Amino acid sequence: MNSLTKASTLSSENISVWFGQRQVLSDVNLVFPANKVTALIGPSGCGKSTFIRTLNRMHELIPGAGLAGSVFLDGEDIYGEDFDAVSVRIKIGMVFQKPNPFPTMTIRDNILSGLRLSGRKIENGDEVAETSLRRASIWNEVKDRLNDQAISLSGGQQQRLCIARSLAMNPQVLLMDEPCSALDPGSTRRIEETIKELSSSMTIVIVTHNMQQAQRVSDQTAFFLADDNTPGGVVEFGSTEQIFNGPIDQRTNDYVNGHFG
Amino acid sequence: MGKLAFMSESSVSKSVPERRKLSAGPLSTGDKWFFRTTSIAANFAFVLVAFILVFLFIQALPALTSQGLPFVYGTEWNNQKDPIVMQIGPMIWGSLLIGAIGVIFATPLAVSLAYLIVFMLPSRLAKVATTLVDLLAALPSVIIGLWGLFVFSPVAAEWATILNKYLGWIPIFQVKSADNGFGGSPFIAGWIVAIMIVPIITSITREVFSQLDRDLINGALALGGSKFSTFRRVIFPTSAGAVVGGILLGLGRALGETVAIYYVLQITFNINWAQILEPNGGAVASMILSKFGEATQDEVSGLIAAGLVLFILTLGINFIASIIVNRAQPWRKN
C-alpha cells in the first residue's frame, strides 16, 4: 500500500458546458477534498453526468462539446498546458453506469488493460492484479478463475472488476457515474462498502439517483437542478448531513424528501 | 389407509401433469398467407441452388469422367490432342493467389476507411464517404476491367518495376526476366480485385464499428488509452470476427470475378506458385470466359466442370467463413 499515490483535492471553478449552441451547465463551483466521498444528486437531465465527465476530460470526446472554467487537481489546471487528456485520465479514474469489462479479455487482462492501453510496462502483473482485485473486494470470488473471460462474471462482479481495473492505474481520484444503477441490492451494498474502504486512499466523486446511497456513502453532497429550458447548476452544496437533514434551499428539501424528481 | 391411498394417488397425478397442446403457428388467415409466401420464397432460393448444382454436375460429368482427378491439379489444356486434355490446376491456384493478394491489399484499406467513417469524420462527411464507397461496389466489373487495362495496368506495372528492383531478393518479387514487362501479373489482377472488394469489407466493418458499445471505447479512453491503443486493444479485437467474415465474403467475390481479371491478367496454363510480378497467372472464371466462345462440345463440358469446381470452392470458403466468425467471438454467446 506504500506505493500507492496519495489522494488529491479536486476542484471545479466556474464550469459551464455547452453541446453545440445549447448551454447545459452553468457556473459550477465545487471542491472535492482529498479522501472525501462527494455525492452528486439531482433529477435526470440536470447535468450531473455531464459535469462528472468534465472532471477527467471525457466530456471533450463528444462532438460539439464546449467548456468554460477550470478544473484543478491539487492546484493544477487539468485543461492547462501541463496536462494532456491521457495523463489526466490516468490520474483520475472513472467507473461507468453500465459495467463495461472488455469482452475479448480475461479477468486478469481486464485488470492490466489500463497499463497496456496507456503504453506502460507491466512488471509484476500478478501482483498488480491481486492488489487491485483485493481493493475492489472481489479477489476471493475470482482468484481461481483469473483466466476466464471477464463477461462470465455476474453484473455486480463485472462492475467491481471495472472498479479494480481503474484501481490498477493507482488513480488519485475516482469518478463513479451511477455505478450501481444496473445492479441488484446485494451487489450495490458490496460496492458501497468498497467505496468506503477506498476513500482512505483516494478522493471519490459519485453520481447517484439513490438518496439512501448518497447518505450511506458520502461525506458531502451537491444538489444539481435544471429549471425548464435553463442550464443546470448547483443549488446547494454542503455536508451530506446538512443536505439531507437541514437543507437551506426549499428545492433541495423537496427533492431529498421525494417531493419531485 | 383410504386417505393415504388417496394422497399418494394425487401426488402421482401431480408429478406428471397432463401437458396441454401449445401452438406457435400462424394466428390468422393473414398470418397463414404471410407464412406461405415467405416459406415459398425461402425454399425457392434453396431449390434454385440445388438445381444449379445438379445442372453443373450433369453437364460436367463427361469431362470429369474422361479427365479424372488430374482435372483439378494438372497443368495442360489441349483440344488438339485425342483424347482431349483439360486440366485446370493453374487456374484454381491462380484464383486463390489473386484472391489472397486482393484481400491483403483491400483489408487494411477497408478497415482504415471504416474507422475514418465511423470514428473520425463529422456525420455529414461520413455519409458522403459511405455513399462514395458504396458507389464503387455498384461499378460494373467490365468498366473496372477496361479502366484496369488502359489506365491502371501501366501505373501498377511501374510499381511492380520498383518492387522488383528494390525487393527482388524476396522470392515472391522475383521475375524470370525483366524484359517481359510487368503487365498482366497476379499483382495487377490482385489490385483490381482489391478495388472491387474494398466496398464489401468496408461496409461490413463500418457496420460492426458503428454497433460497438460506446461504453467500451469510453472505458478504454478513460483508462488512459490513446486513440490508437484503443483501436488496437479494444475496437479491433472486439470486431475481428465480423471483419474476418467480411474479408471472406470479399474473397468469395474475388474468386468469382471474371471480366475485370480477364482484361488485366495474362492467363497461362503454367502454374505460378507465388511470383506475383510475373506476367503469368490464372483464374477459373476468367479462363472459362476466354475459352467459352470457341469451345468444342467436349470443351464445354470441361468448362462447366471448371465452373462446378469454382462453385464448390466458393461454397467451401463461405462455410469456413461462418465457422471462423462463430469461433472468433466465443464471448458473443453469453
pLDDT digits (tens, 9 = 90+) for B15-43: 888 888 887 777 788 988 998 999 999 99
Q: Which residue type, as a one-letter code, is found at position A254?
A: D
Residue B15: per-residue pLDDT: 80
Q: Does A64 touch chain B (CB under 8 A)?
A: no
Residue B12: per-residue pLDDT: 54
Query: Which of the four pLDDT bands, split at 50, 70 and 90, describes residue B150?
Result: very high
User: Distance (Å, rounded) from C-alpha A57 to C-alpha A77?
Assistant: 11
Q: Does B82 touch chain A (CB under 8 A)?
A: no
Residue A12: per-residue pLDDT: 97
**The three grid cell numbers given for residue B174, joined into one nine-digit string:** 522475383
Domains of chain B: 78-333 (1.10.3720.10)
Look over chain B and give the mean of its residue pLDDT values, rounded to a whole number: 90
**The three grid cell numbers given for residue B126, joined into one nine-digit string:** 461520413
Asked whether the CA dihedral A203, A208, A213, A216 is positive or negative, the reply is positive
Asked if A116's CB is within 8 angstroms of B233's CB, the reply is: yes
Query: Which of the four pLDDT bands, split at 50, 70 and 90, describes residue B13?
Result: low
| pLDDT of B7 higher than 60 | no
Residue B259: per-residue pLDDT: 94
Query: Which of the four pLDDT bands, split at 50, 70 and 90, describes residue B328?
Result: low
Residue B199: per-residue pLDDT: 95
Asked whether the CA dihedral A103, A104, A108, A113 is positive or negative, the reply is negative
Query: Which of the four pLDDT bands, split at 50, 70 and 90, describes residue B241?
Result: confident
Residues 6+ apart with CB under 8 A from A137: A160, A190, A193, A194, A197
Asked if A149's CB is within 8 angstroms of B223's CB, the reply is: no
DSSP designation for B332? G
DSSP bridge partners of A203 = A173
Residues 6+ apart with CB under 8 A from A106: A146, A147, A148, A149, A150
Measured from the Cβ of residue B231, the count of other Cβ atoms closer than 10 Å reads 19
- Which residue in the set A98, A104, A165 is minimally distant from B223, CB to CB? A165
Q: Does B211 touch chain A (CB under 8 A)?
A: no
- Residue pair A160/A174 in contact by the 8 Å Cβ criterion: no
In a domain, A121, yes or no: no
Residue B14: per-residue pLDDT: 62
In a domain, A176, yes or no: yes
- Residue pair A99/A82 in contact by the 8 Å Cβ criterion: no
Residue B249: per-residue pLDDT: 87
Query: Which of the four pLDDT bands, split at 50, 70 and 90, describes residue A228?
Result: confident
Q: From chain A, pick out residues whose CB is under 8 angstroms from the CB of B224.
A: 86-87, 89-90, 114, 117-118, 169
| pLDDT of B333 higher than 50 | no
| pLDDT of B47 higher than 80 | yes
Using the CB atoms, write b or e for A118-141: b if 16+ within 10 Å. Answer: beeeeeeeeebbbbbbebbbbbeb
User: Distance (Å, rounded) from C-alpha A52 to C-alpha A57?
Assistant: 9
Asked whether the CA dihedral B88, B93, B94, B98 is positive or negative, the reply is positive
**B306-320 per-position pLDDT tens digit:** 999 999 999 898 888
| A119: region left, alpha or beta (phi > 0 left; psi from -120 to 50 alpha) | left
DSSP string, B120-173: IS-HHHHHHHHHHHHHHHHS-HHHHHHHIIIIIHHHHHHHHHHHHHHHTTSGGG
Query: Which of the four pLDDT bands, split at 50, 70 and 90, describes residue A4?
Result: low
Residue range of the domain that includes A232: 10-105+172-256
Q: From chain A, pick out residues whose CB is under 8 angstroms from the CB of B237.
A: 102, 104-105
Residue A258: per-residue pLDDT: 86
Rounded to the nearest 10 degrees, the angle between the axes of helix A125-135 and helix A185-198 is 110
**Closest residue by Cα to residue B208 from B333, B320, B329:** B329
User: Distance (Å, rounded) from C-alpha A237 to C-alpha A204?
Assistant: 16
Q: CATH number for the domain including A95?
A: 3.40.50.300
Separation in Å, CA B177 to CA B96, B186, B270: 24, 16, 16
Q: Does B334 touch chain A (CB under 8 A)?
A: yes
Average pLDDT over residues A210-216: 95
User: Distance (Å, rounded) from C-alpha A19 to C-alpha A59?
Assistant: 10
**A152-192 per-position pLDDT tens digit:** 999 999 999 999 999 999 999 999 999 999 899 999 999 99
- Residue pair B244/B321 in contact by the 8 Å Cβ criterion: yes
**Which backbone phi and psi does A71 adopt, to 5 degrees?**
-125, 125
Look over chain A and give the mean of its residue pLDDT values, rounded to a whole number: 93
Least-confidence region, from A134-143, A188-197, B26-35? B26-35
Residue B132: per-residue pLDDT: 95
**The three grid cell numbers given for residue A170, joined into one nine-digit string:** 493507482
**Which backbone phi and psi does B140 adopt, to 5 degrees?**
-60, 145
B window 101-140, beta carbon within 8 A of A: 122-123
**A79-123 per-position pLDDT tens digit:** 999 899 999 999 999 999 999 999 999 999 999 999 999 999 888
What's the helix, strand, coil split of chain A in %, to 5? 35, 25, 40
Query: pTM of whole model > 0.80?
Result: yes
Residue A2: per-residue pLDDT: 41
| pLDDT of B6 higher than 90 | no
Q: From chain B, pick out residues whose CB is under 8 angstroms from the CB of A122.
A: none
In a domain, A144, yes or no: no
Asked whether the CA dihedral B330, B331, B332, B334 is positive or negative, the reply is positive
DSSP designation for B267? B
| pLDDT of B299 higher than 60 | yes
In a domain, A160, yes or no: no
Asked if B218's CB is within 8 angstroms of A96's CB, the reply is: yes
> How many degrees, rounded to 5, is the angle at CA A220 between CA A218 and CA A226?
105
| pLDDT of A246 higher than 60 | yes
| pLDDT of B94 higher than 60 | yes
In a domain, A110, yes or no: no
Length of chain A: 261
With pLDDT > 90 as the criterion, what percentage of chain B qualifies?
72
In a domain, A61, yes or no: yes
With pLDDT > 70 as the criterion, what percentage of chain B qualifies?
94
Give strand ranges (E) for chain B: 77-78, 85-86
A127-133's contacts with Cβ under 8 Å and 24+ in sequence apart are A128/A168, A129/A168, A131/A167, A131/A168, A132/A164, A132/A165, A132/A167, A132/A168, A133/A161, A133/A164
**The three grid cell numbers given for residue A193, joined into one nine-digit string:** 462498502
In a domain, A2, yes or no: no
Average pLDDT over residues B40-55: 93
- Residue pair B75/B87 in contact by the 8 Å Cβ criterion: yes
**Which strands form A10-19's sheet, in the order they lie side by side?**
A22-32, A10-19, A65-73, A76-77
In a domain, A157, yes or no: no
| pLDDT of A251 higher than 90 | yes
Residue A250: per-residue pLDDT: 95
**A12-32 per-position pLDDT tens digit:** 999 999 999 999 999 999 999
User: Distance (Å, rounded) from C-alpha A235 to C-alpha A229?
Assistant: 16
Residue A69: enclosing H or E segment and its boundaries?
strand A65-73
Asked if A113's CB is within 8 angstroms of B224's CB, the reply is: no
**Closest residue by Cα to residue A209 from A173, A228, A182:** A182
DSSP designation for B331? G
What ipTM describes this predicted complex? 0.93
